[in-house]
Structures are given as C-alpha cells and as structure tokens.
Structure 1
Amino acid sequence: MALLERVGTLLRANLNDLIEKAEDPEKLLKQLVLDMENQLLQVKTQVAIAIADEHLLDKKRKEHEEAAAEWQRKAELAVKKANDDLARAALERSLSHKQMAAGFAQQLEDQKAEVETLKNALRRLQQKLEETRSRCEMLIAQHRRARVVGRAAQARQAIDNKDRAAGMQRMRVRIAGSEASNAAHEELADADTLEDRFAVLEREEQIEALLRDLKEQHGRDAAV
C-alpha cells in the first residue's frame, strides 16, 4: 500500500541527517512532525475501514454458513420424505453456500492480517511521532540556544573589541599627554637657559660699564 510505504519512509527518517542538510532545521522538524500527524490520521482512518471490512466479511461468512446449514436441514427433510430430487437441489444449495462461506473465511483471514499490519504501523507511527516530538523539542531548543550563544559570543567580541579600541585610545591620549608634557618641560628648560645667558651678558655689560666709570674717574683724579 502506498500509505504504508509513506509511513515506512517516515519511520526510517534520520533526524540528524535531515537537520545537517536543512537550511532551516527548526522549520524542517516542525514540518516532519506535521507530516507524521497527517499520516497518523490517515492510518487511523485506514485501520477503522479495515476493521469495518473485517466485520463485514465475518458477517457474510456467518450468513453463508447459516444458509448452508439451513439447506442441509432441508435436504435431510427431503430425504425423510423420500424426495431425492428435492434433496439433491437442497444439497446443491448447501454446498454452494459452504463454498461461499469458505471464500469469505479466507478473505476474512487476509483482512485480519491486513488489519494487524495497519495496527502495527499505527503503533509504530504513534511511537515514532512521540519520539520525534520530544526529539524535535530538544533539537529546536538546542538550535535556538546555539543561536543565542552565537549572538552572545558576537556581542562579547564586539564589546571586547570596543574595550580594546577604547583602551588604545586612552593609551594614545596618555602618550600624547606625556609627549606634550615633555615638550613643555623642554621648552621651559630652553627658556630658562636663554634667560640665564642673557642675564650673564647683562651682568658682563654692567661690569664693563662700571669698569669704564672707574677708569674715567681715575683719569680725572690723575689730571687734578
């Protein structure tokens, strides 16, 4: 049956292989559960139909067995009445019903086997569906958790990169500040040296002026 073939395909489905090949594992798993639920409903319907057919075949078998027994009784009555022709006709009818009853009995056995096959498929599919639901819930949770962890890792990496960038910026600021401070100290040092040099020159000029004054004063004293 095509239905049993589809059920067999679902029962043989390997979730891990399907997930590895799927672009959207969560969507695939949900679709797989939905397919199983649909097939389960169809199998239940087929089981109900098969059981109904089984009861119908059993009813037909019993009807022909009862008819065969009734014609057998009539044949016995005809024999008692010494009516061989009527007895032969009744036996012919009885034999025909027995053959029909045997045919329905064989169909009934085949139908019972089909019903049992469908029931087994139904039980297996129900079990597979329950397992798949639980597995899907777990895999979907794992998939979602993996995405959350991935996003968290990306966020942490972005924060770390930002912190490193901020740290480097602070370091550059401190270095620039140190360089500026050093330059200022050097400039101040140069300024102090320049002032000292001018101070020396001014002092020498002052001494020279005092020396000239002394010489002039000495020259005037000598002339007197």
Structure 2
Amino acid sequence: MSLLDRVSTLLRANLNDLVEKAEDPEKLLKQIVLDMENQLMQVKTQVAIAIADQHLLEKKRKEHEQEADEWRRKAELAVEKGNDDLARAALERALSHDQLMHGFAAQAEDQKHEADGLRQALRKLEQKLSETRAQSEMLIAEHRRARVVGRTTKVRQAVGAGQEHAVERLKSRVNIESAENAATAEVMVSESLEDRFKALENHDKVELMLAELKQRKALPR
C-alpha cells in the first residue's frame, strides 16, 4: 500500500465504529493516534523530498534552456562569419538542449502535481490528526466514565442486595424472638395455673389433716 493510500485509509477511519468493535478501546485509540503521527512524519518527509526534486528538475530545465540559448547565439555568430557548417553544429546542440529542457520541464510539472498532492494530503492529515486527538480524548473519557458507572452500579446492587439480606435476617430474628417470647409467656401462664390448682389441692389436704388432728385430740386418752 502506497503512502497516500495509507493516508487515505486513515482519513476515512471512523473512530466510533472502530471503538465499538475493539476489546480495549483506549488502547486502540492511542494506537490510531500514534499511527497517524507516524504517517504525518512520513508525509512531511515525502513533501520535503518532492519539493526538493521539483526544484532540482526546474534547475535542470533552466540550465538546458540557458545552454540552448547560448548555442543559438553561437550559431548566429557562425552565420555572421559565413561558417554555415559551424552554425549547423551549434544549432544541433541548441536543439538537443531544447529537447532536454522540455523533458525536464515536463518532469518538473509532474513533480509539482505530486508535491501539491502531498501538501494537500499533509494538510488533511494534520486536520484529521487534530480532530482525532480531540475525539480520542473524549471517547477515552467516556469509556473510563462508563467503566466507573458500571462498577458503581455493581457496588450499589451488591450493597442493596446485602441490605435486603440483612433486613430479611433481622425480620427472621424478630419473628423467632417473638415466637420464643410468646411460647415463654404461654408456659408461664400454664405454670401459674397449675400452681394455683396445686395450691388449692394442698389447701384441701391441709384442712383435712387439720380436721383429723382435731378429731384425734377430741378422743379420750
């Protein structure tokens, strides 16, 4: 994949779609920003090389243009001196330099288009990188907040469940204690009633024993 193709792929990247599919969104976002920074450095290098090549081709074009002009001047001088053969030779050299000049001019124009394309890609990538950094920071913050909210929700659920369990245990304990108190009260009432009957029986026995004692005392000795 060429440099411009890789840049084009990065420019078309949709962070939201990538984040939704990622196991570790924060790591992915940081890697995307790092990749874009690396691509940006490469594009800057390529822009500098393209501009340097354009200047070199333009310099070569100008040199051959000057050489062609110089040989045409010499051809004119040869004609003035009546030396047609020398003039023809000079014109042949001028023609050769003209051809080279046009060749370098065409290459310089092509290189200019290449440099302009790289400049445009560089501007777009710089803008995209700036947007991606901002969006990445926002998405990372949202992801971290979502994790915090998730943990908080789990804690609340756990606390709620614990409180509910504690309330149920308290209710159960109260019910047990109430039942024990009721049973104790019932036993006490039962024991109190039995004691009263027992006391009544004892009273009757005592009265009977007293009557028997009085009766024996009344007998002659």
Please classify the TM superposition score into its range, dividing by the shorter chain length: over 0.9
Residue type of the alignment partner of 1:167: V
**Alignment match, 1:71:** 71
2-structure distance, mates of 1:33, 1:123: 16
Mapping for residues 193-204 of structure 1, pairs under 5 Å? 193-204=193-204
**Alignment match, 2:119:** 119
Say whether residues 1:184 and 2:184 are aligned partners. yes
**Alignment match, 1:132:** 132
Residue type of the alignment partner of 1:153: T
Structure 1: gaps of 5 or more residues = none
Residue type of the alignment partner of 2:158: A
- Any idea what SS the aligned residue of 1:23 has? coil
2-structure distance, mates of 1:216, 1:43: 138
- Any idea what SS the aligned residue of 2:127 has? helix
2-structure distance, mates of 1:133, 1:197: 95
2-structure distance, mates of 1:213, 1:3: 133
* TM-aligned CA deviation for residue 143 of structure 1: 0.5
Alignment TM-score, normalising by the size of structure 1: 0.92
The aligned length equals 220
- Any idea what SS the aligned residue of 2:41 has? helix
**Alignment match, 2:163:** 163
CA deviation string 1:163-185 (max 9, x = no partner): 11221222222122211211111
**Alignment match, 1:18:** 18
1-structure distance, mates of 2:161, 2:90: 103
1-structure distance, mates of 2:54, 2:32: 32
Mapping for residues 15-94 of structure 1, pairs under 5 Å? 15-94=15-94
**Alignment match, 1:99:** 99
2-structure distance, mates of 1:162, 1:52: 73
- Any idea what SS the aligned residue of 2:82 has? coil
1-structure distance, mates of 2:206, 2:153: 78
**Alignment match, 1:147:** 147
